[in-house]
Amino acid sequence: MLLAASILRIPARRIRALALGDDRALHDWLVDESVERIAQARIEARIAYDRLQTLQARLVALGTPEYPAGLRDLVDPPPFLCVRGNLPARSRWREGTAIVGTRTPDRRSREMAYALGRNVRAPIVSGLALGIDAAAHEGALASGVPTYAYVGNGLAATYPTEHADLERRIVAGGGAILSELLADESVRPWSLVRRDRLQAAHAAAIVLVQSEADRGAMHAMRAAVRLDRPRYAFTPREGAVFAGNAQALSEGAHELDWTFDGSRDTLDDVARGRS
Q: Quote the CA–CA distance of 114 and 123 in Å, as a whole number.
A: 13
Q: Which helix (H) or strand (E) holds 3?
A: helix 2-7
Q: Which amino acid is it at 38? A: I
- pLDDT greater than 70 at residue 39: yes
Q: Which residue has the higher pLDDT, 64 or 240?
A: 64
Any idea which of 22-36, 49-63, 141-155, 253-267 has the lowest mean pLDDT? 22-36
Strands (E) in the chain, as ranges, are 58-61, 80-85, 97-100, 124-126, 147-150, 176-179, 205-208, 231-234, 254-256
Q: What is the pLDDT of residues 125-176, one digit of tens each?
A: 999 999 999 999 999 999 999 999 999 999 999 999 999 999 999 999 999 9
Q: Is the model more confident about 26 or about 178?
A: 178
- Asked whether the beta carbons of 198 and 71 are under 8 A apart, the reply is yes
Residues 6 or more apart whose CB falls under 8 angstroms from that of 20 comprise 62, 63
Average pLDDT, the chain: 92
Region of residue 67 (left: phi > 0; alpha: psi -120 to 50; beta: else): beta
> Domains of the chain, with CATH numbers?
1-54 (no CATH), 97-271 (3.40.50.450)
Helices (H) and strands (E) in the chain, counts: 11, 9
For residue 273, give Cα distances in angstroms to 88, 220, 256, 264, 266: 33, 24, 10, 14, 11
Q: Where are the alpha helices (DSSP H) in 213-262?
A: 216-227, 243-250
Reported as a single tens digit per residue, the pLDDT across 52-82 is 999 999 999 998 999 999 999 999 999 999 9
Side-chain-side CA neighbours of 84 within 13 Å: the count stands at 27
The more confident residue out of 125 and 239 is 125
